[in-house]
Amino acid sequence: MQTPTAAATAPIDMPEIAEALARMERCLRAVGCERVPLDDAAGRVCAEALPARLDAPPFAVAAMDGYALRWADADALLARSGVTRAGDPIGPPLAPGTCRRIFTGAPVPPGADTVVVQELTETVGERLRILPGAEPHRHIRAAGSNFGTGTPVTRPGTRLSARDIGLAAAAGHAEIRVHRRPRVAVLSTGSELSRAFADGQAGQILNANRPALKALVRSWGGVPLDLGIAADDGAALSVALSRARATAGIDLLVTSGGASVGDFDLLSPVLAELGFEPAFRKVRMRPGKATLFGRLGQLPVLGLPGNAVAALVSALLFLGPAMSRLAGAGWAEPSPERAVLATPLPATGPRTTFLRGRLGRVGRGVPTFSVLADQDNAMLSGLALADALVLRPADAPPAAPGEPVAVLRFDLSPGF
């Protein structure tokens, strides 16, 4: 992609990425909620602070195998009075001067205030001696010390992890209110695109963007709706967009193609005719300049470039946060991390620039970044091999191996 000339860009509002993201954020709201079984809730976005329905543990329990006793008796020889195992009832109070064999998770008998591990005890005839090294009040988990009845155990707006699911189950819940999955419609534009491979037919160009974007929507917690391919033709595009606007239950429309400034890039004018309210029509980034966002009536529309690499880079930057916001998980922009260059980088042009590359590891230090030789935006094969993008500011000078850089790691955007 060539850097824009003043003549080509002057009349077009082309915000920086941060500004474009801020405009987008203001246009999107979280979708509604539903109750789901806890078994189906992993990865869903929590919509309620579930209060614990019980104390955990429900009573003081031993945190180790050993003997329960009153610390005041620790210098005496203690009479043994029974055994308590995990799952046993609390049982009778501990009489002064006695101890009770106890196992991890078992209720501590009333009166006992300390558990001493077996290794710090010694048997003397029928009795037990506590050895030096034992400490008062050890190895007892107080009732409610994990959580007490009423304590909130889930946090609205967070994606439910296995840890959250375990905690909600331990707190007495079998269901949870979550945001429903955002429904994201995907429309490709481009007369050159064939719908499916046809054996023996010459000159086919197959659409990478629609399948890739549907996969992203699914991996990022949404439900994709496939609106197919619209021809690069005003009427066809207008029909496809109007149909999307009229379809109930679409939370976001994502298009690819038709959004740059060529004579046959019709998306922007057709949207304008339909009353589109743009938040931005370009972004000062490379690749991905031809990214637009706004509202068509109530329908948020994200227009991605037609170019497969540009479409996916732009999806990482814009579709990700949009879906996170729609899903109720708040606004989550991809977060650059630090890496050290293993290969030189060229100077950048007047836009924030992303170059594909691979991360390496030297021990447990900061990862290294090696840029891939071919940065052609049509080379999806190269993007598929990459595992990170280096983020370079506009007008940056060349950079040498060893210099620190900011990278977007694909492993932090699972499914990308």
Strands (E), 131-276: 140-141, 175-179, 183-189, 223-230, 252-256
Among residues 383, 389, 390, 399, the one that binds a second copy under rule CB under 8 A = 383
Specify the residue for token string 């579709």.
319
Which of 273, 376, 395, 403 lies at the binding interface for a second copy (CB under 8 A)? 376
Query: Judged by CB under 8 A, does residue 74 bind a second copy?
Result: no
172 binds a second copy (CB under 8 A): yes
- Told to check if 416 binds a second copy by CB under 8 A, we report yes
Q: How far is the CB of 214 from a second copy (least distance, A)?
A: 6
**163, 248, 298, 373: which one contacts a second copy (CB under 8 A)?**
163
Residue 57 touches a second copy, criterion: CB under 8 A? yes
Residue 125 CB neighbours (<10 A): 6
Residue 10 sits in the site that holds a second copy (CB under 8 A): no
Tokens 């909130």: give the residue: 152
- Give residues 33-52 in contact with a second copy (rule: CB under 8 A): 38-39, 41-43
Query: What is the closest distance, in whole angstroms, from the C-beta atom of residue 71 to a second copy in the complex?
Result: 18
Neighbouring C-beta atoms of residue 177, cutoff 10 Å? 17
Work out whether 248 is an interface residue with a second copy (CB under 8 A): no
| 5 is a contact residue toward a second copy (CB under 8 A) | yes
Beta partners for 134? 132
Its sign, for the CA torsion 280, 281, 284, 287, is: positive
Using CB under 8 A as the binding rule, the residues of this chain from 91 to 110 that contact a second copy are 103-107
SS3 content of the chain, % helix, strand, coil (to 5): 20, 30, 50
Radius of gyration of the chain (CA): 31
Burial of 32 (0-12, 13-18, 19+ CB in 10 A): exposed
CA angle 184, 281, 243 (to 5 degrees): 40
Chain CA centroid to CA 359, Å: 20
User: What CA–CA distances, in Å, run from 79 to 76, 97, 129, 269?
Assistant: 9, 6, 9, 91
Choosing from 53, 344, 347, 360, the residue that interacts with a second copy (CB under 8 A) is 53
Binding a second copy (rule: CB under 8 A), the pick from 162, 248, 298, 373 is: 162
CB of 1 to a second copy, least distance (A): 8
Helix (H, G, I), strand (E, B) or coil at 128: strand
Within 321-340, the residues that bind a second copy by CB under 8 A are 335-338
Residues 173-212 that bind a second copy (CB under 8 A): 173-174, 190-193, 196-197, 199, 202-212
133 binds a second copy (CB under 8 A): no
Residue closer to a second copy (CB basis): 119 or 277: 119
